[in-house]
Amino acid sequence: MTAHTLPLGVDIGTTRVRVVEAECTAQGPRIRAVAVRDVSSGSSSSGALEHPEYVAALIEDALHELGTSQRKCVGAIGEPDALLRPLRFPKMTSIERERAARFEAQRFVEYPVDEAVIRVHAMDASAGLWALGIARESAVMTRVGALRAAGLKPIAMDHEACALARALPGFDAIVDLGHQRASLHVFNRETPITLQAYNGGADITRAIERELSLDVQTAEKRKRILGTAGAGERARAALTSDIASLIHTARATHAVSRIALVGNAARLAGFEIDLESATGALCETPVSEALRGPSYPDDVIRSSAPDWTLAAGLALWSIN
């Protein structure tokens, strides 16, 4: 490990674990290597990990592939298990602020506040503006436990919206098209807001499976190669409509005219055009500058970027 190697970015997703190693170069931070492992159904989710030991074994195997001696890492958690909210506090002591934050947290979570990890961060202390972070403790601790069991030293658990914004600056919003849900992250000068639709790439796969009488593995493979050509069109249209509704809701308070698409479902051919037609916003499937470099051919980077972007953003955490 050189002195310029950054902490690893580890994205524990529903269907995959991605581990990214990045380093500082004269051109800025760049990804040196990425290792990806498929996760068995039910082992990982947006909540607490069902089988953290199994996830740890996958991460350990990915580390072996990377051949890295770096052991510091940054993980991710997102809504509904982690919330960010802007708050204004009058002048008060740190103890008073922590008590006030705990009181405010009860407004935003549906579970007992005793089951939450609560933090406040100064956005503009002189103006009394603070960011309130709330995370479900079980979701945090099972991820931390998996990372530690893999021999890593987690130094932070970042919010997914912040990591994506770090990897793809300059967008009004980022749509993360995941396996089970789609998340719209909208950015402003305070904290990002996240809106979610509870369908995703898996709904399209199931539609292809049902309409063509295929098994799920064949349906997923067909989706990756052919998209929704001839099957799954209604599920795709429903996903587009749901995301467009989220964008319409966000526009009540935020200007949303340029949107980045990430996540595996973003690979569906022409999906950005569908969303542009539904919203009037400019939609792109961009490649983070951190992913550009000599480590992989351009075609590999472009095709993999939707899947690697979150982990890449996590690897950039320490340079902020």
Residue whose structure tokens are 């909208």: 186
Pick 8 or 223 by higher pLDDT. 8
Claim to verify: residue 204 and residue 302 sit in the same structural domain: no
Claim to verify: residue 146 and residue 292 sit in the same structural domain: yes
Claim to verify: residue 153 and residue 208 sit in the same structural domain: no
**How many structural domains does the chain have?**
2
Claim to verify: residue 210 and residue 160 sit in the same structural domain: no
Q: Look at residue 2 in the predicted model and tell me its pLDDT.
A: 45
Task: Say if 120 falls within a structural domain.
Answer: no
Pairing assessment for the beta strands 173-177 and 258-262 based on DSSP bridges: parallel
Claim to verify: residue 160 and residue 19 sit in the same structural domain: yes
Closest by Cα among 178, 162, 192 to 44: 178
- Tens-digit pLDDT profile for residues 161-210: 999 999 999 999 999 999 889 999 999 877 899 999 998 888 888 888 89
- Tens-digit pLDDT profile for residues 212-254: 988 888 888 888 777 788 888 999 999 999 999 999 999 999 9
Claim to verify: residue 176 and residue 211 sit in the same structural domain: yes
Task: Say if 114 falls within a structural domain.
Answer: no
Residue by residue, what is the 3-state secondary structure of the chain? Answer: CCCCECCEEEEECCCEEEEEEEEEECCEEEEEEEEEEECCCCCCCCCCCCCHHHHHHHHHHHHHHHCCCCCEEEEEECCCCEEEEEEECCCCCHHHHHHHHHHHHCCCCCCCHHHEEEEEEEEEHHHCEEEEEEEEHHHHHHHHHHHHHCCCEEEEEEEHHHHHHHHCCCCCEEEEECCCCEEEEECCCCCCEEEEECCCHHHHHHHHHHHHCCCHHHHHHHHHHHCCCCCCHHHHHHHHHHHHHHHHHHCCCCCCCEEEEECHHHHCCCHHHHHHHHHCCEEECCCCHHHCCCCCCHHHHHHHHHHHHHHHHHHCHHHC
Task: Say if 102 falls within a structural domain.
Answer: no
pTM for this one?
0.91
Lowest-confidence segment of 34-48, 80-94, 102-116, 260-274 by average pLDDT: 34-48
pLDDT band (50, 70, 90) for residue 66: very high
Strand partners, 258: 282
Claim to verify: residue 214 and residue 156 sit in the same structural domain: no
Q: What is the mean pLDDT of the chain?
A: 91
Strand partners, 10: 19
Task: Say if 106 falls within a structural domain.
Answer: no
| CATH of residue 8 | 3.30.420.40
Pick 1 or 316 by higher pLDDT. 316
Q: Look at residue 269 in the predicted model and tell me its pLDDT.
A: 85
Q: Look at residue 320 in the predicted model and tell me its pLDDT.
A: 67
Question: How far is residue 152's CA from residue 129's CA, in Å, rounded to a whole number?
Answer: 34
Phi, psi of 266 (to 5 degrees): -65, -15
Claim to verify: residue 313 and residue 187 sit in the same structural domain: no
Task: Give the structural domain span for 299.
Answer: 1-79+137-168+287-320
Q: Is the pLDDT at 44 greater than 60, yes or no?
A: no
Task: Say if 113 falls within a structural domain.
Answer: no
Task: Say if 190 falls within a structural domain.
Answer: yes
Task: Say if 92 falls within a structural domain.
Answer: no
Claim to verify: residue 195 and residue 218 sit in the same structural domain: yes
Claim to verify: residue 195 and residue 154 sit in the same structural domain: no
Q: Look at residue 152 in the predicted model and tell me its pLDDT.
A: 98
Claim to verify: residue 150 and residue 65 sit in the same structural domain: yes
* 8 Å CB contact between 140 and 157: yes
Claim to verify: residue 203 and residue 274 sit in the same structural domain: yes
Pairing assessment for the beta strands 193-197 and 182-186 based on DSSP bridges: antiparallel
